[in-house]
Chains A and B, each alone.
Chain A
Amino acid sequence: MSSMIFGLLVVTSTAGTVSTSSTSVESSPALPTAGVREAPASPSPTLSFDRRVEDAGAAWGVYTRASSQIPRAESGFATVSGLGALVRFEAGAEYAPWSPVQGVSFEAGLSTGLQTRRILETADAKLAVTSLQVSAVYRRPVWSYFGAYARATGGLDIGHLAVSERLGDFEIDDVAVAYSAAGALGAELLVPVGYTQSGSLERADQWLSFHFEVGYALASAFRFDEMQRDLPSDSDPARIATSTIDAGSLRLDGFLWRMGAAFRF
């Protein structure tokens, strides 16, 4: 695998097509090249990254990522987070209509994050955020198996804020909804892991992606203005009517980073 990565590719782009010239590393004339490897009994290898791209066609994929959003100091987030960042786990599916390694692709998935903080000696605050995210990604190969991409993401965020006494029985909580949009730039390492036979060559049709990106998110505010004790409302006898508490607003906009892996096929 490592020998493949050292295959030297020079990628240029003209009028929507990608052509690639390649020079093998000196004294390693038989090194395989990206996405294409020589069949056991084949003639000398052809450097055909462009062919790989053209032939790849549509691809599906799944991804899992860790991300962290760093809200601004005045966002109210500091109340619930000693760390100052909302760490999330993301998972979802992607679809690349034209190519798994370049061009436009689309993603949809879920993201969940949790922050807890002991806000006082006897009290804990907990913020859980679950997001439905959709993204559009544009990828460009840069060098060898490395690529760069830009991502635009929109999200529907559901926040659950709960405050509880350490020795108490119940928590006071509320659920709020916010919307977010984010832009990010990232780098990707694409590793072919599955091949199909194409004439004398094997062409990659399964890829692992390892990627890292940074960006900025804009988000509307979570408005936790109906905090109340988390108790059944349909008890018999009914509970005394309860008025809610306005705990204020919390915004998650700020810088973000993501890192993760995807499998495309």
Chain B
Amino acid sequence: MPRPVSIAVLCTLVFAACSGEDEALTEALVVVGPRVVADHLVWVDQTTARVAWVASDTVVESTEIDRDDVRSAVFGPEHVTLLAGGDEPAAVRVAIPGGEVDVVPLSSTFDRAFLSASGRYLVAIHDARFARSSPVVAINNNEIAIVDLDSQSARRVALDTESTAPRDVVFSADESRAAIVLDADVVVVDLAADGIVRVPLKLPNGDRLAPEQVVFNADANYLFLRTSGTADVVALELLGEGSTTSGVLNFLAVPGAERLLDLAVADDPAYVLAAFRAPEGRTIAARLAADGDVSETRTVELAGQATRIALLENRTVLLHGSPDRIGSSGNAFVGGWDLEDDLVEQDALAGPTMGPAAVGAGTAFFVHAAEGGSATALTALALRREDVRLSVALRPLVLGGNVRDYAFSSADERVVVGVDILREDSGAAPLPARPYGEPNDTTGALAVVDAETLAIESVVLDDPIVVVGVLGDHLYAVHPGAFGDVTFVPRASIERGAARRVDGVLLSGLLDRTGGAR
């Protein structure tokens, strides 16, 4: 007869076998997305190298890339590209929705990738902030890779600067050039040839300027810089092309400017738009000639304090006080500048802005605190040129909840807003009680506002919203959750009955993973 102790040992072994939790498999889920690619929403889980995508009317599809150590994912119009490290560093491009994979080997493991608008060129850089565990003892941050994903070729480019950390990459609109922004240098590289221009941002006294904003003009023959330490616009004129590329530096100054706040592409490639802080809380808006010809400089002064400048499609310039991101707050100032007749108009929103403006053709939407600060408002701002004046028309709407995200639908000139509202009596499906009696007290609602008429359509969804956007003829709302939960609503029918929900997108193909959890 087995002794009791034998039975106890057996039970212990069996119990241990049932709980197969191994701490080595507890990597954080690193999800990038969702982003819109080829009319699909695409998620990338860098931990498992899995790409999953779904359209408004399709089932979820996914594929696992046979690569370890995915460090970055970037999204193009038709593809998503993963930057993989490990023993065989590569840029791995996945076609959406076909799932075909192209692999372009790289010379070393890079940490971040930047993709041109067309999806053809990828620039890979080292960035210690994004590095995961690296087998490399030392890396040369001044080495980048330029990948032509269409021809599946890559070349290594040595930047040879005094900077130690690349920060950003900006592509020109025609995709002939890219600017590599380092901590105290900017390097312009030709994407299709070997041309390279190094711009050390060092003053004669040895002080270094840190680039904060980089803008190409439309023709890619000028690069404009906003840097720390100077209120001037730094303009780099790029001459020649290929291996003969060279550059000429100009400092574009505006009298009375205390600080350069923002740059924007002008309507004419020979100019750049800039907003400056002036004394006593005023703002100077300027259109500066790229070649430094001060006789071409045009400026207007506004009484309020703006932080951003943008050119609308009707050739009016919008100045506003929006912050860079949702969650921070800006100021309530808004102003307009008509470039043709130098007409200026300014106004103030009812409260400080709560995120960046959603800018359309002639209309911009601002989410801001309502008067009194107890609610959130959405204001549509229209800049219209009238006979002898520029009009700034503000049309506010008070929203019945906290705004989580918003996006502009340029196809139909509507703004899509995701708000959190109280679940009770909202029309959302009830949820089972949470453990410990915590209430499920909020849900999300999607509101669609027409830019012209301010007509509002809304639909209450079954969970809070973190991201909203437009996907072809549908709107989408992403819900909180690690695995990708999303609701699609047809733009033509903003109602619950027409909506479709998909939960756990990143669990698609979970069991088909070749290596199990990693």
Chain A interfacial positions (CB closer than 8 Å to B): 1, 66, 68, 74, 76, 78-83, 85, 87, 89, 113-123, 125, 161, 163, 165, 168-169, 172, 191, 208, 210, 224, 227-229, 231-232, 235-250
Contact = CB atoms under 8 A, between A and B. Distances in A.
B341 interface: no
Given A82-B22, A231-B431, 20 more contacts: A1-B1, A116-B20, A117-B22, A117-B25, A118-B25, A118-B26, A120-B29, A122-B482, A125-B510, A163-B504, A163-B510, A235-B429, A237-B428, A240-B462, A240-B487, A241-B501, A243-B501, A245-B60, A245-B507, A248-B511
Given A241-B500, A241-B501, A120 B511 contact: no
Contacts of B500: 240-243
Given A122-B28, A227-B507, A245-B60, A165 B17 contact: no
B511 A121 contact: no
Interface string B30-72: 0000000000000000011000000000011000000000000
Contacts of B462: 239-240
Given A79-B517, A163-B483, A246-B60, A172 B507 contact: yes
Contacts of B481: 165, 168
B132 to A, nearest CB: 14
A243 B59 contact: yes
Interface in B461-518: 461-462, 481-483, 487, 496, 499-505, 507-517
A120 B50 CA distance: 13
Contacts of A228: 503-504
A245 B503 contact: yes
Given A82-B21, A168-B481, A240-B487, A229 B429 contact: no
Contacts of A118: 21-23, 25-26
A119 B427 contact: no
B203 interface: no
Going nearest first, the 3 A-B pairs with the smallest beta carbon separation are A78-B516, A248-B511, A76-B511
Contacts of A210: 2
Given A76-B511, A231-B432, A245-B505, A240 B461 contact: yes
Contact of B517 (A115, A116, A117, A238): A117
A117 B504 contact: no
A69 to B, nearest CB: 12
Contacts of B279: none
A162 B508 CA distance: 13
A78 B20 CA distance: 10
Contacts of A116: 18-21
Nearest to B15: A87
Given A79-B517, A122-B29, A246 B509 contact: yes
Contact of A83 (B17, B432, B434, B513): B17
Given A165-B482, A238-B429, A245 B14 contact: no
Nearest to A117: B20
B29 A82 contact: no
B100 interface: no
A242 B503 contact: yes
A206 to B, nearest CB: 14
A246 B47 contact: no
A68 to B, nearest CB: 7
A122 B29 CA distance: 7
Contact of A246 (B22, B27, B59, B440): B59
